[in-house]
């Protein structure tokens, strides 16, 4: 989807973990490249070498290929590695906040995560007053590192799986939010866990390397498939996995809960060739369009062409055009050599980039009635600009269809629209929305239709139905803190 930052400020990230492979850092790097869409303003890789008993890391600002040179991978030895690509939702990105992050005690910890903590400020105060731990960064991950370090330090002489279970269970008891986490315990192995509601994705698989199994973890299945891993499965809610240096697997589910994965992974965020909770992203987007298209048939719209907003809306636009029996046309042409606009932090910069990012095939637009298909309408500013762009190039009428229901509530789990006053559907009805963005009419996939598409899989729909899977009583504090950070240009969250 494009352009993005002014529409939805995502705080998603991509993570990769490898254990049991002599080329762990190289695999982490290649897996990270498959997750570049999940973050573009910094990247990092860290390895642990058993022989030297040391961490080795490389991380920097920018796209993965710019932040980590391929030649530097030769300086990251060891059979364990974790990797991370991120972007900050607000403020200035600082190098010291780039993941992976490390801590020397106990054992030596290195961690990456994808997610968002609602009650971070409350936990920070408790860590300071009760545990005498001062946080040095503004990254959610540091909070989790302190919590797991305190838990594991209770029995530092002889680490066992019960210690890891107890430390992780304590995180589940204290932390409110959505997160997937990978941790290297120096000299011991790799830990992976997912929050009790399974909000953020994490999969794992295995492959034979030198007559033994290596194991890989990643935010999306396509990264592990690219690396040749097999038997790829999604971690369940509150699932904890520890793989020792010897390749022994310890695995448990700490809380029995129904999964509530974020619907936005299928609607927008994940790669089309990824599979999340056994549902392929591309096929789900086809289904969204098929269901919405069936209803649009009843509207008897005078449509000449169906046009997707590139890129994630394409599958839905294809099935809508098939249902309406109207030509599918790609008339919005992306400039592949500009940054994704949702990565940019300043509105003025985003406005300039939008003009560079999209060109219109005006010969296909002039005099046409267009059905514009987008994956979601959040603030409405991007939709307004694209509709105006089409009309400036001669479109007669522009209707818009969204494969996401109206977003009327804040998200506190990583899709960063925490202020409901910014949400166009919270403030306006469909007629008012259409008028505000310059469309003849606006059509949404309904909540019932979206649930129908997921066919029994319960997803987090809090932003459209207000039913939050966790306690959100600290949400206002989180929002106020973010506003202060934005005003002082402090680093954002991941």
Catalytic residues, by residue number, are: 13
The residues, any chain, with a CB within 8 Å of residue 34's CB and separated by 6 or more, are 218, 220, 222, 223, 226, 271
- Catalogue the E-assigned strands of 432-487: 442-444
Maximum distance among all Cα pairs of the chain, rounded to whole angstroms? 76
b/e string for 217-252 if b means 16 or more Cβ within 10 A?
A: bbbbbbbbbbbebeebebbbbbbbbbbbbeeeebee
- Is 461 within 8 Å of 107 (Cβ atoms)? no
| Residue position matching structure tokens 């020792």 | 244
DSSP string, 2-40: -S-TTT-EE---EEEEEES-TTHHHHHHHHHHTTGGG--
- In angstroms, what CA-CA distances link 184 with 46, 77, 95, 148, 240? 9, 14, 21, 12, 14
The residues, any chain, with a CB within 8 Å of residue 287's CB and separated by 6 or more, are 319, 453
What radius of gyration, in Å, describes the C-alpha atoms of the chain?
23
The C-alpha atoms of residue 406 and residue 205 are separated, in whole angstroms, by 36
Sign of CA dihedral 180, 182, 185, 191: positive
Instruction: Enter the tokens of residue 339.
Output: 């940054």
- Is 255 within 8 Å of 295 (Cβ atoms)? no
Instruction: Enter the tokens of residue 473.
Output: 């009583």
Give the H or E element holding residue 321: helix 314-324
Crossing angle for the helix pair 120-131 and 140-152, to the nearest 10 degrees: 40
């Amino acid at each position: 989807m494009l352009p993005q930052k002014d529409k939805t400020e995502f705080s998603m990230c991509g993570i990769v973990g490898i254990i049991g492979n002599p080329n762990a850092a190289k695999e982490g790097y290649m897996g990270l490249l498959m997750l570049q869409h999940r973050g573009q303003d910094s990247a990092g890789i860290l390895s642990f070498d058993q022989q030297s008993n040391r961490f080795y890391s490389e991380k920097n600002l920018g796209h993965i290929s710019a932040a980590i040179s391929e030649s530097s991978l030769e300086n990251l030895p060891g059979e364990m590695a974790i990797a991370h690509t991120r972007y900050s939702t607000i403020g200035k990105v600082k190098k010291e906040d780039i993941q992976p992050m490390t801590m020397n005690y106990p054992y030596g910890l290195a961690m990456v995560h994808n997610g968002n903590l609602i009650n971070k400020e409350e936990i920070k105060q408790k860590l300071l007053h009760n545990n005498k731990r001062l946080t040095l960064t503004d990254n959610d991950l540091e909070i989790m590192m302190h919590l797991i370090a305190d838990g594991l330090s209770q029995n530092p002489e002889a680490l066992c799986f019960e210690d890891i279970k107890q430390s992780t269970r304590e995180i589940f008891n204290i932390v409110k939010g959505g997160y997937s986490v990978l941790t290297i315990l120096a000299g011991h192995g790799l830990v992976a866990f997912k929050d009790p509601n399974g909000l953020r994705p994490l999969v794992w698989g295995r492959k034979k390397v030198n007559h033994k199994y290596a194991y890989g973890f990643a935010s999306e299945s396509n990264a592990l498939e690219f690396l040749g891993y097999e038997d790829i499965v999604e971690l369940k809610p509150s699932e904890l996995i520890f793989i020792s240096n010897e390749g022994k697997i310890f695995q448990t589910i700490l809380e029995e809960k129904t999964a509530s994965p974020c619907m936005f992974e299928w609607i927008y965020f994940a790669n089309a060739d990824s599979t999340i909770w056994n549902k392929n992203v591309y096929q789900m987007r086809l289904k969204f369009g098929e269901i919405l298209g069936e209803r649009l048939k009843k509207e008897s719209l005078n449509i000449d062409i169906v046009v997707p907003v590139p890129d994630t809306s394409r599958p839905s636009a294809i099935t809508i055009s098939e249902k309406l029996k109207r030509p599918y046309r790609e008339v919005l042409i992306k400039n592949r050599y500009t940054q994704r606009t949702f990565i940019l932090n300043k509105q003025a910069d985003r406005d300039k980039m939008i003009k560079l990012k999209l060109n219109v095939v005006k010969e296909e637009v002039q005099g046409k009635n267009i059905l514009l298909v987008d994956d979601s309408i959040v603030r409405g500013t991007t939709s307004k600009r694209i509709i105006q762009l089409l009309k400036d190039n001669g479109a007669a009428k522009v209707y818009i269809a969204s494969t996401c229901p109206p977003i009327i509530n804040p998200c506190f789990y990583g899709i960063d629209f925490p202020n409901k006053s910014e949400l166009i559907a919270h403030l306006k009805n469909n007629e008012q929305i259409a008028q505000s963005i310059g469309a003849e009419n606006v059509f949404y996939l309904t909540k019932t239709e979206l649930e129908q598409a997921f066919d029994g899989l319960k997803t987090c729909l809090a932003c459209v139905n207000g039913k939050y899977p966790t306690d959100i009583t600290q949400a206002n504090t989180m929002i106020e803190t973010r506003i202060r950070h934005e005003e002082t240009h402090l680093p954002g969250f991941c």
